[in-house]
Amino acid sequence: MTPAYRLADCHLHFEGSLPVETLEVLGRRAGHRFADRTAFEDARSAVRDAKTFLSLYADVCPLFESPADYGEAASAIARSLASDGLTYAEIYVSPEIAARLGLDASACLREIDRGFREAEAEGAIHCNILLDAVRQWGPESAERVLDVHEKTGLASVVGFGLGGDETSVPTAAFAGVYARARALGLRTSVHAGEWGGTESLTEALDLLRPDRVDHGIAAASDPELMERLADEATTLWISPTSNVATGVVGSIEEHPLPRLLDAGVRVAIGADDPLFFATTTAREHQLLRDQLGFGERTMRQLAENSWRAAFLSSSERDRRLAEIAGHHPPRGRTQPSVSS
Ligand code: ADE
Ligand code: ZN
C-alpha cells in the first residue's frame, strides 16, 4: 500500500513494530510459543483492553535474548516500514525492558542503532529512536533510561517519552525526569488521554510540558481542552486502530478524530504497534479515507502535520513540507470539513 503523500510515523514502539516473520524467527530461537504464528494470532485476537494489551506486549519481550537479537530486529523493522511506503520513523525503545531481561541495556540500544543504520545503508528508511520509560515502573526506572542515554550518547536518540499503563503512577512523579530529558537536549512526548481521562491529559500538559502527545483522544470530550491544544499547537499523534483494539473507542466510525480536527487540534497519524494491531501506517491513513470519508485536503494536512511534529531539524522539516506543497493529487471537493 503506497500512501498518497510522504509520511513520517513518530508513534511506533519497537517490539510492536516487529514484522511477524521476525517474531517467528526470534520465537524459534528462544523456544517461545510465538514461534507458532497461530499461537500469536490467537493471543492477538484476545486483546480487548489496556490490561490484555499490556500483557501481550510483556509476553513478546522475552523473545529477545541478546543485543544481537535487537540489532537484527531493528534492521527488519526499518525494512518493513520502508516496504509500507513510509519515509521516516521515530520508534520508542525501552532500555528498561532489556535490563529486566538481564541484558546490558546500553549494548542493546547500540545494536538497535547499528541495525537501523545498516538497513538504511541498504535502502530502508531512516529511523530515529525515542527513549521510552514505562510508567508503571516508576520515576527511578525512568531516570535509568536517561542514564543509558548519557552513557551511549547516540545521535539517533532524538526524544524521550512515557508509555505503559496511564492509570498507574501519577504524572507528577515524572516532572523531574522530563526536566532532565530536556536538559539533555531531548525533545519529549507522553502517552496521555489514551486510557486516562481529560484530567490525566491536562496534568501531562501542565506538569511534563511535552512537545507532543501520543493519543490524547480524551480531549475530544472537552471543548476547552481542545481549544488549549489548538492554541498551543500541540500535536496529538493518534492511532485509530489501536484505540479500537484497546477498547477506548467502539469502532473506527465512532473515533473522535473528526471532532478534534474540526476544533483545530493538530493531529498526526501513527500505527502505534503494527504487529499487535494488525495494521500499518499506510493502512491507518487509508482507513480514514475509506471509513471516515476523509478528503484530499485533510489527508494532506495529516501528512504535513507528521513532518511538522517530527523531531527533525527545521531544514529537513521544511524540505518535506515543500515536497508535499509541490504534490498535486486529484482534485476533490473543497468544502472546509474533514471530507474535503
Ligand atoms: N506501549 C506500546 N503501545 C502502547 C500504548 N498504546 N499505550 C501505552 N503504552 C504502550
Ligand atoms: Zn504508543
Task: Assess if residue 52 is contained within a domain.
Answer: yes
Pairwise CA distance, residues 60 & 41, whole Å: 12
Centre of ligand 1 from the C-alpha of residue 262, in Å? 26
Task: Assess if residue 184 is contained within a domain.
Answer: yes
Centre of ligand 2 from the C-alpha of residue 325, in Å? 29
Please enumerate, as own/partner, the contacts of 175-181 that have beta carbons within 8 Å and a separation of 24 or more.
Answer: 175/207, 175/208, 176/139, 177/133, 177/139, 177/142, 177/143, 177/146, 178/207, 178/208, 178/209, 178/210, 180/143, 180/146, 181/146
- Ligand 1 neighbours (beta carbon < 6 A): 13, 16, 57, 163-164, 191, 194, 242, 272-273
User: Which one-letter DSSP state was computed for residue 136?
Assistant: G
Pairwise CA distance, residues 143 & 338, whole Å: 41
pLDDT digits (tens, 9 = 90+) for 128-153: 999 999 999 999 999 999 999 999 99
Active site positions, annotated: 194
The closest alpha carbon to 282, from 81, 90, 89, belongs to 81
Task: Assess if residue 322 is contained within a domain.
Answer: no
User: At residue 30, what is the residue type?
Assistant: A
Look up the CATH number of the domain holding residue 123.
Answer: 3.20.20.140
Instruction: Residue 176: give the domain boundaries.
Output: 8-317
Pairwise CA distance, residues 155 & 165, whole Å: 29
Q: Give the ligand 1 atom nearest the CA of 13.
A: 2
Task: Assess if residue 20 is contained within a domain.
Answer: yes
Q: Which ligand is nearest to the CA of 132?
A: 1
Task: Assess if residue 326 is contained within a domain.
Answer: no
Task: Assess if residue 334 is contained within a domain.
Answer: no
pLDDT of residue 327: 81
Task: Assess if residue 242 is contained within a domain.
Answer: yes
Residues of the chain with pLDDT under 50: 332-336
User: At residue 309, what is the residue type?
Assistant: A
Q: Which ligand is nearest to the CA of 236?
A: 2
pLDDT of residue 255: 98
pLDDT digits (tens, 9 = 90+) for 212-223: 999 999 999 999
Task: Assess if residue 192 is contained within a domain.
Answer: yes
- Number of domain units in the chain: 1
Q: Give the ligand 1 atom nearest the CA of 166.
A: 8
